[in-house]
Amino acid sequence: MNIHLQHQVNQWLQQDPDPSTQAQLQTLLDNQDETALTTMFSGRLSFGTAGLRGIVGPGPMAMNRLVVRQTTAGLGAYLISQISYAATRGVIIGYDGRHDSYVFAHDAASVLTAMGITVRLTTQVAATPLVAFGVKHFNAAAGIVITASHNPPQYNGYKVYWENGAQIIPPHDSGIAARITQAATQAIPFMELSAAKAQDKLIWLKDDFYQTYRQGVHSASELQQHADPKGVSLAYTAMHGVGANMAEAVLHDAGFKQVYSVAAQREPDGDFPTVNFPNPEEKGAMDLVIAEAKKHQTMLACANDPDADRFAVAVRTAGNNYKMLTGDQVGVLLGEYLLTHAPAHQRLVGTTIVSSSLLSKVAQSLHASCYTTLTGFKWLMNIGINKCEADNQFLFAYEEALGYTVGSMVWDKDGLSALVAFAQLCAELTEKGQTVWDKLEQIYRQHGFHLNAQVSIALKPDTPNIGEHLRQYPPTTIADYAVLSCDDLSQSLRTFANGATAVIDLPKSDVLIYCLENGARVIVRPSGTEPKIKCYYEVVETMNVTDTWESAQQRAEQAMTLFISAHQASLPN
Protein backbone atom coordinates (compact mmCIF):
# COMPACT_ATOMS: atom_id res chain seq x y z
CA MET A 1 0.00 0.00 0.00
CA ASN A 2 1.07 3.60 -0.63
CA ILE A 3 3.21 4.53 2.41
CA HIS A 4 1.95 8.12 2.55
CA LEU A 5 -1.67 6.91 2.51
CA GLN A 6 -0.95 4.35 5.22
CA HIS A 7 0.62 7.07 7.36
CA GLN A 8 -2.46 9.32 6.86
CA VAL A 9 -4.81 6.53 7.88
CA ASN A 10 -2.78 5.60 10.96
CA GLN A 11 -2.60 9.23 12.07
CA TRP A 12 -6.37 9.53 11.70
CA LEU A 13 -6.94 6.30 13.62
CA GLN A 14 -4.90 7.62 16.55
CA GLN A 15 -7.18 10.67 16.84
CA ASP A 16 -10.57 9.15 15.94
CA PRO A 17 -12.72 9.03 19.12
CA ASP A 18 -15.41 6.81 17.57
CA PRO A 19 -14.96 3.01 17.92
CA SER A 20 -17.33 2.44 14.99
CA THR A 21 -15.44 4.52 12.42
CA GLN A 22 -12.15 3.29 13.89
CA ALA A 23 -13.21 -0.31 13.24
CA GLN A 24 -14.32 0.49 9.68
CA LEU A 25 -10.98 2.08 8.87
CA GLN A 26 -8.98 -0.68 10.54
CA THR A 27 -10.80 -3.32 8.49
CA LEU A 28 -9.99 -1.48 5.25
CA LEU A 29 -6.38 -1.15 6.39
CA ASP A 30 -6.16 -4.84 7.30
CA ASN A 31 -7.63 -5.76 3.90
CA GLN A 32 -5.20 -3.41 2.12
CA ASP A 33 -8.19 -1.77 0.38
CA GLU A 34 -6.20 1.04 -1.16
CA THR A 35 -9.00 2.13 -3.52
CA ALA A 36 -11.52 2.77 -0.74
CA LEU A 37 -8.96 4.42 1.52
CA THR A 38 -7.67 6.66 -1.28
CA THR A 39 -11.22 7.94 -1.83
CA MET A 40 -11.73 8.54 1.90
CA PHE A 41 -8.45 10.47 2.24
CA SER A 42 -8.51 12.28 -1.12
CA GLY A 43 -9.16 15.63 0.55
CA ARG A 44 -11.38 17.14 3.20
CA LEU A 45 -15.14 17.60 3.41
CA SER A 46 -15.54 21.14 2.15
CA PHE A 47 -16.67 23.85 4.56
CA GLY A 48 -18.76 26.47 2.74
CA THR A 49 -21.50 29.01 3.39
CA ALA A 50 -23.85 26.21 4.43
CA GLY A 51 -21.18 24.74 6.74
CA LEU A 52 -20.65 21.01 6.26
CA ARG A 53 -22.87 18.34 4.77
CA GLY A 54 -21.95 14.82 3.79
CA ILE A 55 -22.43 11.10 4.26
CA VAL A 56 -21.58 9.79 7.73
CA GLY A 57 -18.51 7.57 7.67
CA PRO A 58 -14.79 7.39 8.45
CA GLY A 59 -12.05 9.71 7.21
CA PRO A 60 -11.78 13.45 6.44
CA MET A 61 -14.13 13.31 3.42
CA ALA A 62 -17.12 12.23 5.55
CA MET A 63 -19.17 13.44 8.50
CA ASN A 64 -17.83 11.90 11.73
CA ARG A 65 -16.83 12.80 15.27
CA LEU A 66 -13.25 13.76 14.44
CA VAL A 67 -14.32 15.97 11.53
CA VAL A 68 -16.86 17.66 13.83
CA ARG A 69 -14.23 18.22 16.53
CA GLN A 70 -11.70 19.63 14.06
CA THR A 71 -14.35 21.85 12.46
CA THR A 72 -15.42 23.16 15.86
CA ALA A 73 -11.85 23.92 16.89
CA GLY A 74 -11.40 25.90 13.68
CA LEU A 75 -14.69 27.73 14.17
CA GLY A 76 -13.85 28.53 17.79
CA ALA A 77 -10.44 29.96 16.85
CA TYR A 78 -12.02 32.09 14.12
CA LEU A 79 -14.73 33.44 16.44
CA ILE A 80 -12.15 34.47 19.05
CA SER A 81 -10.13 36.26 16.36
CA GLN A 82 -13.10 38.06 14.82
CA ILE A 83 -15.72 38.83 17.47
CA SER A 84 -15.28 40.90 20.63
CA TYR A 85 -16.12 38.98 23.78
CA ALA A 86 -16.79 35.83 21.74
CA ALA A 87 -15.86 33.58 24.67
CA THR A 88 -18.35 35.15 27.08
CA ARG A 89 -21.09 35.77 24.50
CA GLY A 90 -20.73 32.11 23.61
CA VAL A 91 -22.22 29.75 21.06
CA ILE A 92 -25.65 28.14 21.01
CA ILE A 93 -25.82 24.52 19.77
CA GLY A 94 -28.85 22.47 18.74
CA TYR A 95 -29.33 19.22 16.86
CA ASP A 96 -31.91 17.22 14.91
CA GLY A 97 -33.11 13.62 15.26
CA ARG A 98 -30.55 11.88 13.05
CA HIS A 99 -28.60 9.01 14.57
CA ASP A 100 -25.31 10.87 15.06
CA SER A 101 -26.61 14.36 15.74
CA TYR A 102 -26.68 14.08 19.56
CA VAL A 103 -23.05 12.97 19.86
CA PHE A 104 -21.84 15.44 17.21
CA ALA A 105 -23.51 18.31 19.12
CA HIS A 106 -22.02 17.17 22.42
CA ASP A 107 -18.56 16.84 20.85
CA ALA A 108 -18.84 20.38 19.49
CA ALA A 109 -19.80 21.65 22.96
CA SER A 110 -16.84 19.84 24.55
CA VAL A 111 -14.36 21.40 22.12
CA LEU A 112 -15.68 24.96 22.48
CA THR A 113 -15.85 24.85 26.28
CA ALA A 114 -12.28 23.50 26.37
CA MET A 115 -11.33 26.62 24.38
CA GLY A 116 -12.90 28.82 27.06
CA ILE A 117 -16.06 29.57 25.05
CA THR A 118 -19.40 29.44 26.86
CA VAL A 119 -21.85 27.02 25.23
CA ARG A 120 -25.62 26.91 25.42
CA LEU A 121 -26.64 23.38 24.42
CA THR A 122 -30.19 22.16 23.95
CA THR A 123 -31.18 19.27 26.21
CA GLN A 124 -33.21 17.66 23.44
CA VAL A 125 -33.68 17.83 19.67
CA ALA A 126 -34.50 21.28 18.34
CA ALA A 127 -35.92 22.65 15.12
CA THR A 128 -33.26 24.58 13.19
CA PRO A 129 -35.18 27.91 13.46
CA LEU A 130 -34.90 27.73 17.27
CA VAL A 131 -31.11 27.92 17.07
CA ALA A 132 -31.22 30.87 14.67
CA PHE A 133 -33.67 32.49 17.11
CA GLY A 134 -31.37 31.67 20.03
CA VAL A 135 -28.36 33.44 18.51
CA LYS A 136 -30.27 36.74 18.58
CA HIS A 137 -32.08 36.03 21.84
CA PHE A 138 -28.85 35.39 23.77
CA ASN A 139 -26.70 37.83 21.75
CA ALA A 140 -24.42 34.86 21.07
CA ALA A 141 -21.27 35.07 18.96
CA ALA A 142 -22.51 32.22 16.76
CA GLY A 143 -24.83 29.25 16.49
CA ILE A 144 -24.33 25.64 15.37
CA VAL A 145 -27.04 23.21 14.26
CA ILE A 146 -26.19 19.57 13.65
CA THR A 147 -28.63 18.70 10.87
CA ALA A 148 -28.79 17.39 7.33
CA SER A 149 -32.24 18.92 6.88
CA HIS A 150 -34.15 16.89 4.26
CA ASN A 151 -31.21 14.83 2.94
CA PRO A 152 -31.35 11.00 2.94
CA PRO A 153 -30.72 9.07 6.21
CA GLN A 154 -27.01 8.43 5.58
CA TYR A 155 -26.24 12.17 5.65
CA ASN A 156 -25.54 14.65 8.42
CA GLY A 157 -24.42 18.26 8.49
CA TYR A 158 -23.03 21.16 10.51
CA LYS A 159 -24.69 24.53 9.96
CA VAL A 160 -23.25 27.79 11.29
CA TYR A 161 -24.96 31.08 12.14
CA TRP A 162 -23.01 34.31 12.59
CA GLU A 163 -23.56 36.76 15.45
CA ASN A 164 -26.34 38.55 13.51
CA GLY A 165 -28.44 35.36 13.55
CA ALA A 166 -28.11 34.70 9.81
CA GLN A 167 -26.12 32.01 8.02
CA ILE A 168 -22.49 32.85 7.32
CA ILE A 169 -21.48 34.44 4.03
CA PRO A 170 -18.06 35.36 2.58
CA PRO A 171 -15.50 36.10 3.87
CA HIS A 172 -16.39 34.15 7.01
CA ASP A 173 -16.82 30.82 5.20
CA SER A 174 -13.28 30.84 3.82
CA GLY A 175 -11.93 32.32 7.05
CA ILE A 176 -13.40 29.46 9.10
CA ALA A 177 -12.27 26.89 6.51
CA ALA A 178 -8.67 28.13 6.82
CA ARG A 179 -8.82 27.78 10.62
CA ILE A 180 -10.24 24.25 10.28
CA THR A 181 -7.32 23.25 8.04
CA GLN A 182 -4.97 24.59 10.70
CA ALA A 183 -6.84 22.87 13.56
CA ALA A 184 -6.68 19.52 11.75
CA THR A 185 -2.88 19.51 12.18
CA GLN A 186 -3.04 20.11 15.95
CA ALA A 187 -4.29 18.40 19.09
CA ILE A 188 -7.98 19.21 19.54
CA PRO A 189 -8.94 20.64 22.96
CA PHE A 190 -11.72 18.69 24.67
CA MET A 191 -13.56 19.00 27.97
CA GLU A 192 -16.11 16.58 29.39
CA LEU A 193 -19.46 18.31 29.66
CA SER A 194 -19.75 17.56 33.38
CA ALA A 195 -16.51 19.50 33.92
CA ALA A 196 -17.69 22.29 31.60
CA LYS A 197 -20.91 22.57 33.62
CA ALA A 198 -18.95 22.69 36.89
CA GLN A 199 -16.81 25.52 35.49
CA ASP A 200 -19.90 27.46 34.32
CA LYS A 201 -18.86 27.06 30.69
CA LEU A 202 -21.94 24.96 29.79
CA ILE A 203 -25.53 26.16 30.08
CA TRP A 204 -28.23 23.58 29.36
CA LEU A 205 -31.15 24.96 27.36
CA LYS A 206 -34.21 23.30 28.86
CA ASP A 207 -37.92 23.64 28.22
CA ASP A 208 -38.01 27.33 29.14
CA PHE A 209 -35.91 28.11 26.05
CA TYR A 210 -38.35 26.23 23.79
CA GLN A 211 -41.22 28.07 25.47
CA THR A 212 -39.51 31.42 24.83
CA TYR A 213 -39.47 30.68 21.09
CA ARG A 214 -43.10 29.50 21.30
CA GLN A 215 -44.12 32.72 23.05
CA GLY A 216 -42.20 34.70 20.43
CA VAL A 217 -44.27 33.16 17.65
CA HIS A 218 -47.48 33.75 19.58
CA SER A 219 -46.73 37.43 20.21
CA ALA A 220 -45.12 38.28 16.85
CA SER A 221 -46.88 41.31 15.37
CA GLU A 222 -46.92 39.66 11.93
CA LEU A 223 -48.80 36.64 13.33
CA GLN A 224 -51.69 38.30 15.10
CA GLN A 225 -54.91 36.61 14.02
CA HIS A 226 -57.09 38.74 11.76
CA ALA A 227 -59.91 36.21 11.45
CA ASP A 228 -61.62 33.41 13.38
CA PRO A 229 -59.37 30.31 13.24
CA LYS A 230 -62.26 27.88 13.81
CA GLY A 231 -62.94 27.56 10.08
CA VAL A 232 -59.52 26.03 9.34
CA SER A 233 -58.68 22.34 9.70
CA LEU A 234 -55.41 20.71 8.75
CA ALA A 235 -53.44 17.49 8.70
CA TYR A 236 -49.77 17.80 9.65
CA THR A 237 -46.61 15.76 9.35
CA ALA A 238 -43.16 16.30 10.85
CA MET A 239 -41.79 13.79 8.30
CA HIS A 240 -39.92 11.82 11.01
CA GLY A 241 -38.27 15.06 12.08
CA VAL A 242 -38.24 17.37 15.08
CA GLY A 243 -41.13 19.73 14.29
CA ALA A 244 -44.24 18.07 15.70
CA ASN A 245 -44.30 19.27 19.33
CA MET A 246 -43.61 22.89 18.45
CA ALA A 247 -45.81 22.91 15.34
CA GLU A 248 -48.79 21.58 17.31
CA ALA A 249 -48.07 24.05 20.14
CA VAL A 250 -47.86 27.21 18.00
CA LEU A 251 -50.96 26.21 16.03
CA HIS A 252 -52.85 25.61 19.28
CA ASP A 253 -51.72 28.98 20.64
CA ALA A 254 -53.04 30.66 17.48
CA GLY A 255 -56.44 29.02 18.00
CA PHE A 256 -56.20 26.20 15.44
CA LYS A 257 -57.72 23.20 17.23
CA GLN A 258 -58.58 20.96 14.26
CA VAL A 259 -55.05 19.64 13.76
CA TYR A 260 -54.43 15.98 12.94
CA SER A 261 -50.83 14.78 13.04
CA VAL A 262 -49.66 11.74 11.06
CA ALA A 263 -48.82 9.36 13.91
CA ALA A 264 -46.45 7.20 11.85
CA GLN A 265 -44.26 10.24 11.05
CA ARG A 266 -44.66 12.30 14.22
CA GLU A 267 -41.60 11.24 16.24
CA PRO A 268 -37.96 11.80 15.21
CA ASP A 269 -36.54 8.75 13.41
CA GLY A 270 -33.19 8.95 11.65
CA ASP A 271 -34.11 6.01 9.41
CA PHE A 272 -37.09 7.90 7.87
CA PRO A 273 -38.87 4.55 7.40
CA THR A 274 -42.04 5.72 5.61
CA VAL A 275 -40.47 8.00 2.98
CA ASN A 276 -37.92 7.29 0.27
CA PHE A 277 -36.54 10.81 0.60
CA PRO A 278 -37.61 13.05 3.55
CA ASN A 279 -38.16 16.14 1.41
CA PRO A 280 -41.74 17.43 0.94
CA GLU A 281 -40.88 18.35 -2.67
CA GLU A 282 -40.11 14.71 -3.56
CA LYS A 283 -42.73 12.51 -5.18
CA GLY A 284 -44.60 10.44 -2.57
CA ALA A 285 -43.25 12.30 0.46
CA MET A 286 -46.65 13.95 1.15
CA ASP A 287 -48.71 10.78 0.61
CA LEU A 288 -49.37 10.00 4.29
CA VAL A 289 -50.34 13.53 5.27
CA ILE A 290 -52.68 13.82 2.28
CA ALA A 291 -54.24 10.49 3.30
CA GLU A 292 -54.69 11.92 6.83
CA ALA A 293 -56.26 15.05 5.34
CA LYS A 294 -58.70 12.96 3.28
CA LYS A 295 -59.59 10.91 6.36
CA HIS A 296 -60.65 14.04 8.27
CA GLN A 297 -61.70 16.09 5.21
CA THR A 298 -59.40 18.91 6.30
CA MET A 299 -58.81 22.09 4.31
CA LEU A 300 -55.00 21.66 4.28
CA ALA A 301 -52.33 18.96 4.33
CA CYS A 302 -49.19 20.55 5.81
CA ALA A 303 -45.62 19.37 6.28
CA ASN A 304 -42.36 20.52 7.73
CA ASP A 305 -39.12 18.94 6.56
CA PRO A 306 -37.16 16.99 9.22
CA ASP A 307 -35.46 20.04 10.79
CA ALA A 308 -38.65 22.14 10.44
CA ASP A 309 -37.13 25.05 8.55
CA ARG A 310 -39.19 24.37 5.40
CA PHE A 311 -42.97 24.34 4.97
CA ALA A 312 -45.06 22.55 2.35
CA VAL A 313 -48.81 22.49 1.85
CA ALA A 314 -51.41 20.75 -0.28
CA VAL A 315 -54.84 22.39 -0.45
CA ARG A 316 -58.23 20.73 -0.92
CA THR A 317 -59.71 21.35 -4.35
CA ALA A 318 -63.33 21.76 -5.41
CA GLY A 319 -63.35 18.06 -6.31
CA ASN A 320 -62.25 17.08 -2.76
CA ASN A 321 -58.79 16.10 -3.88
CA TYR A 322 -55.56 17.72 -2.66
CA LYS A 323 -53.12 19.64 -4.79
CA MET A 324 -49.65 20.80 -3.75
CA LEU A 325 -48.91 24.49 -3.96
CA THR A 326 -45.52 25.37 -5.38
CA GLY A 327 -43.05 27.29 -3.23
CA ASP A 328 -43.66 30.31 -5.45
CA GLN A 329 -47.41 30.12 -4.93
CA VAL A 330 -47.07 29.89 -1.14
CA GLY A 331 -44.52 32.72 -1.24
CA VAL A 332 -46.73 35.13 -3.14
CA LEU A 333 -49.81 34.24 -1.08
CA LEU A 334 -47.97 34.85 2.20
CA GLY A 335 -46.32 38.00 0.86
CA GLU A 336 -49.62 39.50 -0.31
CA TYR A 337 -51.40 38.55 2.93
CA LEU A 338 -48.70 39.97 5.19
CA LEU A 339 -48.39 43.18 3.18
CA THR A 340 -52.13 43.85 3.41
CA HIS A 341 -51.83 43.89 7.23
CA ALA A 342 -48.35 45.37 7.69
CA PRO A 343 -47.83 48.87 9.10
CA ALA A 344 -46.45 51.62 6.87
CA HIS A 345 -42.92 51.30 8.28
CA GLN A 346 -42.67 47.50 7.69
CA ARG A 347 -43.01 46.83 3.99
CA LEU A 348 -39.69 45.26 2.96
CA VAL A 349 -39.96 41.86 1.28
CA GLY A 350 -37.37 39.74 -0.49
CA THR A 351 -36.97 36.87 -2.91
CA THR A 352 -34.24 35.22 -5.01
CA ILE A 353 -33.23 35.39 -8.66
CA VAL A 354 -34.61 31.89 -9.39
CA SER A 355 -37.95 32.44 -7.65
CA SER A 356 -41.00 33.89 -9.40
CA SER A 357 -41.01 37.59 -10.26
CA LEU A 358 -44.64 37.77 -9.10
CA LEU A 359 -43.89 38.85 -5.51
CA SER A 360 -42.08 41.97 -6.76
CA LYS A 361 -45.16 42.93 -8.81
CA VAL A 362 -47.51 42.34 -5.89
CA ALA A 363 -45.21 44.40 -3.64
CA GLN A 364 -45.14 47.27 -6.13
CA SER A 365 -48.94 47.30 -6.37
CA LEU A 366 -49.12 47.51 -2.56
CA HIS A 367 -46.53 50.31 -2.36
CA ALA A 368 -43.91 48.04 -0.78
CA SER A 369 -40.27 47.42 -1.71
CA CYS A 370 -39.00 44.04 -2.88
CA TYR A 371 -35.31 43.13 -3.09
CA THR A 372 -33.81 40.20 -5.02
CA THR A 373 -30.73 38.19 -4.04
CA LEU A 374 -28.72 35.20 -5.14
CA THR A 375 -30.19 31.80 -4.29
CA GLY A 376 -30.12 30.88 -0.59
CA PHE A 377 -31.33 32.23 2.70
CA LYS A 378 -27.81 33.29 3.63
CA TRP A 379 -28.23 36.03 1.00
CA LEU A 380 -31.92 36.73 1.63
CA MET A 381 -31.32 37.35 5.33
CA ASN A 382 -27.95 39.13 5.35
CA ILE A 383 -29.10 41.53 2.62
CA GLY A 384 -32.48 41.92 4.32
CA ILE A 385 -30.72 42.92 7.55
CA ASN A 386 -28.60 45.48 5.69
CA LYS A 387 -31.61 46.97 3.88
CA CYS A 388 -33.63 47.56 7.04
CA GLU A 389 -34.25 51.21 7.85
CA ALA A 390 -36.38 52.88 10.50
CA ASP A 391 -39.16 53.58 7.99
CA ASN A 392 -38.72 50.38 5.97
CA GLN A 393 -38.47 47.36 8.27
CA PHE A 394 -38.23 43.75 7.11
CA LEU A 395 -41.52 41.84 6.76
CA PHE A 396 -41.10 38.68 4.69
CA ALA A 397 -38.81 36.74 2.36
CA TYR A 398 -39.01 33.44 0.52
CA GLU A 399 -37.34 31.20 -2.02
CA GLU A 400 -39.04 28.70 -4.28
CA ALA A 401 -37.53 25.67 -2.47
CA LEU A 402 -40.20 25.92 0.29
CA GLY A 403 -38.33 28.39 2.49
CA TYR A 404 -40.13 31.34 4.17
CA THR A 405 -39.26 33.94 6.81
CA VAL A 406 -42.07 35.87 8.49
CA GLY A 407 -40.87 38.89 10.47
CA SER A 408 -37.44 39.32 12.04
CA MET A 409 -37.64 36.98 15.03
CA VAL A 410 -35.62 34.40 13.07
CA TRP A 411 -33.10 35.47 10.42
CA ASP A 412 -33.45 32.20 8.50
CA LYS A 413 -36.23 30.20 6.95
CA ASP A 414 -38.71 29.03 9.57
CA GLY A 415 -41.27 26.36 8.69
CA LEU A 416 -43.07 26.74 12.04
CA SER A 417 -43.98 30.43 11.86
CA ALA A 418 -44.75 29.97 8.14
CA LEU A 419 -47.21 27.21 9.09
CA VAL A 420 -49.03 29.55 11.46
CA ALA A 421 -49.03 32.42 8.95
CA PHE A 422 -50.51 30.23 6.22
CA ALA A 423 -53.23 28.88 8.52
CA GLN A 424 -54.11 32.48 9.46
CA LEU A 425 -54.23 33.46 5.79
CA CYS A 426 -56.67 30.60 5.21
CA ALA A 427 -58.79 31.68 8.18
CA GLU A 428 -59.16 35.13 6.66
CA LEU A 429 -60.07 33.74 3.26
CA THR A 430 -62.63 31.38 4.84
CA GLU A 431 -64.25 34.28 6.67
CA LYS A 432 -64.60 36.06 3.32
CA GLY A 433 -66.08 32.95 1.70
CA GLN A 434 -62.99 32.43 -0.46
CA THR A 435 -60.55 29.56 -1.00
CA VAL A 436 -56.80 29.61 -1.54
CA TRP A 437 -57.50 28.90 -5.21
CA ASP A 438 -59.82 31.92 -5.43
CA LYS A 439 -57.13 34.14 -3.96
CA LEU A 440 -54.42 32.86 -6.30
CA GLU A 441 -56.69 33.42 -9.30
CA GLN A 442 -57.39 36.96 -8.10
CA ILE A 443 -53.63 37.65 -7.94
CA TYR A 444 -53.08 36.08 -11.37
CA ARG A 445 -55.88 38.14 -12.92
CA GLN A 446 -54.24 41.31 -11.63
CA HIS A 447 -50.62 40.50 -12.47
CA GLY A 448 -50.73 37.67 -15.03
CA PHE A 449 -50.62 33.89 -14.71
CA HIS A 450 -47.01 33.14 -13.71
CA LEU A 451 -45.63 29.69 -14.42
CA ASN A 452 -42.13 28.64 -13.41
CA ALA A 453 -40.10 25.57 -14.31
CA GLN A 454 -36.58 24.27 -13.74
CA VAL A 455 -34.58 21.98 -16.02
CA SER A 456 -31.20 20.41 -15.31
CA ILE A 457 -29.50 19.38 -18.54
CA ALA A 458 -26.79 16.75 -18.63
CA LEU A 459 -24.20 17.69 -21.24
CA LYS A 460 -21.72 15.57 -23.14
CA PRO A 461 -18.02 15.73 -22.19
CA ASP A 462 -17.17 17.42 -25.48
CA THR A 463 -19.91 20.08 -25.25
CA PRO A 464 -18.47 23.61 -25.45
CA ASN A 465 -18.51 25.80 -22.34
CA ILE A 466 -22.12 27.04 -22.29
CA GLY A 467 -21.52 30.22 -20.32
CA GLU A 468 -18.56 31.19 -22.48
CA HIS A 469 -20.60 30.54 -25.65
CA LEU A 470 -23.58 32.62 -24.46
CA ARG A 471 -21.32 35.51 -23.48
CA GLN A 472 -19.49 35.36 -26.83
CA TYR A 473 -22.70 35.10 -28.87
CA PRO A 474 -25.38 36.89 -26.83
CA PRO A 475 -28.86 35.93 -28.09
CA THR A 476 -31.21 38.67 -29.28
CA THR A 477 -34.21 36.33 -29.14
CA ILE A 478 -34.99 33.18 -27.14
CA ALA A 479 -37.84 30.99 -28.35
CA ASP A 480 -39.22 33.89 -30.46
CA TYR A 481 -39.21 36.23 -27.43
CA ALA A 482 -37.07 39.34 -27.90
CA VAL A 483 -34.34 39.73 -25.27
CA LEU A 484 -34.91 43.05 -23.47
CA SER A 485 -31.92 42.76 -21.16
CA CYS A 486 -29.25 40.31 -20.02
CA ASP A 487 -27.74 40.28 -16.52
CA ASP A 488 -24.26 38.75 -16.36
CA LEU A 489 -23.63 38.30 -12.66
CA SER A 490 -20.03 37.27 -13.26
CA GLN A 491 -19.47 40.87 -14.41
CA SER A 492 -22.17 42.52 -12.20
CA LEU A 493 -23.44 44.04 -15.45
CA ARG A 494 -26.86 44.44 -17.09
CA THR A 495 -26.87 44.94 -20.84
CA PHE A 496 -30.02 46.23 -22.56
CA ALA A 497 -31.11 45.48 -26.14
CA ASN A 498 -30.01 48.95 -27.27
CA GLY A 499 -26.49 48.35 -25.92
CA ALA A 500 -26.85 50.49 -22.80
CA THR A 501 -25.46 49.01 -19.59
CA ALA A 502 -26.04 49.30 -15.85
CA VAL A 503 -24.21 47.94 -12.80
CA ILE A 504 -26.02 45.21 -10.80
CA ASP A 505 -25.80 45.23 -7.01
CA LEU A 506 -25.39 41.47 -6.51
CA PRO A 507 -22.38 39.35 -5.50
CA LYS A 508 -20.50 37.98 -8.49
CA SER A 509 -21.69 34.56 -9.60
CA ASP A 510 -21.62 32.48 -12.78
CA VAL A 511 -25.23 33.25 -13.68
CA LEU A 512 -26.92 34.73 -16.77
CA ILE A 513 -30.44 36.19 -16.52
CA TYR A 514 -32.40 37.04 -19.68
CA CYS A 515 -35.50 39.21 -19.35
CA LEU A 516 -37.69 38.81 -22.41
CA GLU A 517 -40.77 40.42 -23.87
CA ASN A 518 -44.19 39.38 -22.53
CA GLY A 519 -42.63 39.04 -19.05
CA ALA A 520 -40.83 35.80 -19.89
CA ARG A 521 -37.47 35.06 -18.31
CA VAL A 522 -34.73 32.45 -18.41
CA ILE A 523 -31.87 32.05 -15.96
CA VAL A 524 -28.84 29.97 -16.92
CA ARG A 525 -26.44 28.64 -14.34
CA PRO A 526 -23.67 26.84 -16.20
CA SER A 527 -21.28 24.67 -14.25
CA GLY A 528 -17.58 25.18 -14.75
CA THR A 529 -16.72 21.79 -13.25
CA GLU A 530 -19.50 19.42 -14.30
CA PRO A 531 -21.04 18.65 -17.70
CA LYS A 532 -24.45 20.03 -16.74
CA ILE A 533 -26.40 23.24 -16.81
CA LYS A 534 -29.38 24.44 -14.76
CA CYS A 535 -32.02 26.56 -16.43
CA TYR A 536 -34.91 28.32 -14.69
CA TYR A 537 -37.83 29.47 -16.83
CA GLU A 538 -40.75 31.81 -16.25
CA VAL A 539 -43.65 32.60 -18.57
CA VAL A 540 -46.42 35.10 -17.87
CA GLU A 541 -49.82 34.88 -19.55
CA THR A 542 -52.33 37.74 -19.30
CA MET A 543 -55.70 36.51 -18.00
CA ASN A 544 -58.52 37.88 -20.14
CA VAL A 545 -62.06 38.40 -18.86
CA THR A 546 -63.15 35.20 -20.60
CA ASP A 547 -60.24 33.18 -19.17
CA THR A 548 -60.70 30.59 -16.47
CA TRP A 549 -57.83 29.38 -14.28
CA GLU A 550 -57.74 26.23 -16.39
CA SER A 551 -57.58 28.02 -19.74
CA ALA A 552 -54.83 30.39 -18.55
CA GLN A 553 -52.85 27.52 -17.07
CA GLN A 554 -53.18 25.46 -20.24
CA ARG A 555 -51.93 28.38 -22.33
CA ALA A 556 -49.03 28.99 -19.93
CA GLU A 557 -48.07 25.30 -19.94
CA GLN A 558 -48.10 25.19 -23.74
CA ALA A 559 -45.95 28.32 -23.87
CA MET A 560 -43.57 26.83 -21.28
CA THR A 561 -43.16 23.58 -23.24
CA LEU A 562 -42.28 25.48 -26.41
CA PHE A 563 -40.05 27.88 -24.46
CA ILE A 564 -37.97 25.13 -22.85
CA SER A 565 -37.72 23.12 -26.05
CA ALA A 566 -36.60 26.09 -28.17
CA HIS A 567 -34.14 27.34 -25.58
CA GLN A 568 -32.47 23.98 -25.06
CA ALA A 569 -32.25 23.48 -28.82
CA SER A 570 -30.44 26.82 -29.11
CA LEU A 571 -27.67 25.81 -26.72
CA PRO A 572 -24.44 24.42 -28.22
CA ASN A 573 -24.09 20.65 -28.15
Active site residues: 149
Cα–Cα distance between 336 and 83 in angstroms, integer?
38
- Report the alpha-carbon distance of residue 409 to residue 406 in Å, rounded: 8
What is the Cα–Cα distance from 134 to 48, expressed in whole angstroms? 22
Nearest Cα to Cα of residue 369 among 339, 399, 340: 339
Q: Report which secondary-structure segment, H or E, holds 160.
A: strand 155-161
Position 433, amino acid: G
Q: How far apart are the first and last CA of the chain?
A: 42
Tell me phi and psi for residue 47, to 5 degrees: -100, 120
* Cα 320 to Cα 301: distance, rounded to the nearest angstrom: 12
- Helices 436-447 and 358-365: crossing angle in degrees, nearest 10, is 80
3-state secondary structure of 559: helix
Separation of alpha carbons 445 and 466, rounded Å: 37
Residues 364, 402, 224, 345, CA torsion sign: negative
Residue 528: CA atoms inside 13 Å, Cβ hemisphere, count?
5
CA distance 115 to 311: 37
Q: Is the dihedral of CA 276, 278, 281, 285 positive or negative?
A: positive
